Homo-oligomer: A and B are copies of this chain.
Amino acid sequence: MLPEHARAHNRSLVLQALFHQGPSSRADLARSTGLTRVTVSDLVSVLISEGLVAELGVRPEGRVGKPATLVGMRTEEFQVVAVDLADDASLRGAVMTLTGAVVARRTVSLDGRTGDAAVGVLEDLCRELLAAADRPVVGVGIGSPGVIDASGVVVQAPNRGWYDLPLADLLAERLGVPVQVANDANTHALGEYTYGGATGAGLMVVTVGQGLGAGIVLDGALVRGRAHAAGEIGHVTVVDDRDVRAGDPEPRPCACGRAGCLETLLSLPALRRATAGRTPQESDAVLASVGRKLGVALAPVVSALNLAEVLLSGPPELLDGALRVEALATLRARTLPLLGQDLVLRMGSLDEDGALSGAAALVLSGQLGVT
């Protein structure tokens, strides 16, 4: 650990405080970071010279003493490019401000391209978005399905035909801009933490889309796992022979080659198939049974990690009803009351752009140290 690392850390501390608390005086920042006013002044002057921070004038409230000069992060004067690769058919991208507001959108079709051709499509989309930005771009953030390591190498993403592809380095070189890549469900969790106001003390975000994924944030940091595959809960078995004997329908075969995986019940295709043509009552019963399976599967995770919040991300009409209620009831019933009673199970705060916000959060985290 070098002095410059400490410096970078303190710089992030200041930026983080400004990002989450909004405009503050240097003295406020000194109090909330634990640094001295002198050090904060120095850091702020550097940040101002870089354009990341600006003085906003004197604080209006009349308190005793010299009135404070507010400084704020210029979140609207910089932009990030965010790309969501979750969909198999098309790439969705956006230019966003640092607060996550969408400035411009682009969507391109993959037309079945994979491997290098898919990288080419992605690169073109990024170029188009970089050109669409009307402010300096801090970096490019990409949320992709698959297993991705901490340095942005796609270890495997079968649907894109990518294996051991150093996507972040490759795009950074071609685009001339910093690029961050991470698993889409993981970035989603980071997004809920950074933009959605979720706790960093024990957060799990369950993303229901074409498949089922999850991301976990503990102590403010993403959990990556031994093989960078943390969060892959879609293929936990939740229906087996014993469940059938107890009255469950036969387990459905799964794309992974097994049967009875959670993803065969809890994914958009599965939920739509299960509720299609049903009355609301019938649908609720089906959704409740899925919620129960989710609760059973999550109970050990909530217990082992003593999670504070579990968020669901996906269409509210499917998730935010009987499914969520039953999942929470099941979780409460199957965990130690101390653990379950204060647990929050709610819908994510980010809308359908959650994946993009997550990718943007990835850039904030990687380039500015702000989470």
Contact = CB atoms under 8 A, between A and B. Distances in A.
Interface of A: 1-3, 5-6, 9-10, 13, 147, 199, 201-202, 204, 214, 216, 218-219, 221, 223-237, 240, 242-243, 245-247, 256, 297-301, 303-308, 333-339, 342
A47 to B, nearest CB: 17
Q: How many copies does the complex hold?
A: 2
21 contacts: A1-B13, A2-B6, A147-B338, A201-B226, A202-B225, A216-B305, A219-B224, A225-B306, A227-B339, A227-B342, A228-B306, A232-B303, A232-B306, A236-B300, A236-B303, A237-B299, A237-B333, A237-B335, A256-B337, A297-B300, A300-B301
Contacts of A225: 201-202, 305-307
A339 B229 contact: yes
A204 B304 contact: yes
A147 to B, nearest CB: 7
Nearest to A262: B300
A331 B342 CA distance: 29
A230 to B, nearest CB: 4
Contact of A6 (B6, B216, B256, B300): B6
Contact of A242 (B234, B243, B305): B243
A197 B221 CA distance: 25
A306 B6 CA distance: 31
Contacts of A245: 245-247
Contacts of A223: 218, 305
A305 B215 CA distance: 9
A230 B2 CA distance: 33
Contacts of A305: 216, 223, 225, 230, 305
Contact of A235 (B216, B218, B303): B303
Contacts of A247: 242, 245
Contacts of A236: 299-300, 303, 334-335
Contact of A304 (B1, B201, B216, B237): B216
A42 B28 CA distance: 38
A276 to B, nearest CB: 26
Nearest to A147: B338
A301 B301 contact: yes
Contacts of A204: 304
Contacts of A297: 300
A305 to B, nearest CB: 6
Nearest to A307: B226
